[in-house]
Amino acid sequence: MDSLPSTTPDFWNSRYLSNQTPWDFGGVPADLKAYLKTHPRGGRVLIPGCGSGYEIKAFIDAGYTVTALDLSSVAIDRARQFVGPDSAPNIFAGDFFQHDFGATQFDVIYERTFICALLPEQRNAYRDRIAALLKYRGALLGYFYYQTPDLQAGPPFGFAWGTADELFARYFLLVKDIPVADSLPLFAGHERWQERHRTSFETAAKSDLK
């Protein structure tokens, strides 16, 4: 199993099927609960790497319209069962970088254990894709893992200090950055809740969303 590349669905399916999921919180973390209490206005939210779907339901309950996807079809099956049939059609098994979102742009993109599951060389593509999908003044928010990445030991692949600021600075303004109190053991002491707002800096043509 360890020989499977982490960029493939089989890598993640095998971990869900064998319950090797140390990133799975099993519920909704405290910082997201606090955010949703103060931002219950609704809007369109995208959750890439949605896993088992706990946060999908939390956003729905707060009045948001949610689109979610995960590379693992096993995770998607669990997420669809968790949120119920009404929201299941908006949950997709697929590649975030290849999925066709059409002309949809989002008010919020929620990040938890997705960018740290990507190889560091994929981060520029992640940033550009996120920037193209978010509305002006939209929010990229969630959990970011700070640990010098070890390509032999990961995923997860953390950020070395300063590299996240460098990555996001062109398209995003950091407006909140606090340590996380309820991290899972895998991330304890190295995880921060951050909120970034989309600036007016233009990305490539919208055709790149497809």
pLDDT for residue 203 is more than 80: no
CATH number of 23-50+99-209: 3.40.50.150
Question: Could you give the strand order of the β-sheet that contains 43-48, starting from the edge strand earlier in sequence?
Answer: 91-93, 64-70, 43-48, 106-111, 134-145, 191-198, 172-179
- pTM, two decimals, is 0.92
The pLDDT score that the predictor gives to residue 204 is 65
Residues 128-141 have pLDDT tens digits of 999 999 999 999 99
Mean pLDDT over the full length of the chain: 92
Residues 45-100 have pLDDT tens digits of 999 999 999 999 999 999 999 999 999 999 999 999 999 998 888 999 999 999 99
Dihedral angle, C-alpha 41, 46, 49, 50, nearest 10 °: 40
The pLDDT score that the predictor gives to residue 58 is 95
Question: Coil, strand or helix: which one is 111?
Answer: strand
Strands 43-48 and 64-70 turn out to be parallel
Residues 167-190 have pLDDT tens digits of 999 999 999 999 999 999 999 999
List CB contacts of 153: < 8 A, sequence separation 6 or more: none
The pLDDT score that the predictor gives to residue 209 is 54
Structure-token pair, residue 153: 């030991």
Domain ranges of the chain: 23-50+99-209
